[in-house]
Every structure is written in structure tokens, then in C-alpha cells.
Amino acid sequence: MENNSIERCILCNVETQYRVSDHIDYRTGYIEGVGQLCLHCYNNNPDGKKIVVKVSEKTILDTPNDASLGGVVRNEYYKLKGL
């Protein structure tokens, strides 16, 4: 039996537009291994700045260790900020 309840945002706890039974490939704001974000939290925080940095699975697998991965994520953050 599929769960048909509404997903809640993992950051702000508001109801999202998705149901638990909706496939993740058709959702915006779903972060695998983390959960569903509402569109507001996925795109912005209260002061309008990005709060989610997406890193591809390939980047994670191709980066040799966690310390290096942290540098890669920080570089992606700087790109988003235009720095």
C-alpha cells in the first residue's frame, strides 16, 4: 500500500506540493538522502540567498576524499555567489 500523505519540508516543516508516493524523479526540491524541501527553501532563504548547493553524484564519486569534496562544494558555493 502506497503512502499518500503530503511531504513536509525538512527545513521549515510546511506542506509541499508532493505526496510521499510521488516518484522523486518528478519532484523539484528533493535531495536524495536528505528529503523534500518546499520550493521556497529549495530556492531561497528569508534574505533571498541560495541555501542549497547541488553537487552531482559524479563529483562526489570522483573526488578522492571528504576534505577535497569540501573544497569542491565551497567552490560551487562561490560560483553561485559570483565570487
pLDDT of residue 1: 42
- pLDDT score at 32: 76
pLDDT in tens, the chain (83 residues): 457 899 998 888 899 999 999 998 999 988 876 788 898 888 876 555 555 677 888 988 999 888 888 888 888 778 877 77
Q: Report the pLDDT value the prediction gives residue 70, as an integer from 0 to 100.
A: 83
Pairing between strand 15-19 and 30-31? unpaired
Rounded distance, CA 26 to CA 51, Å? 21
Q: What is the pLDDT of residue 69?
A: 84
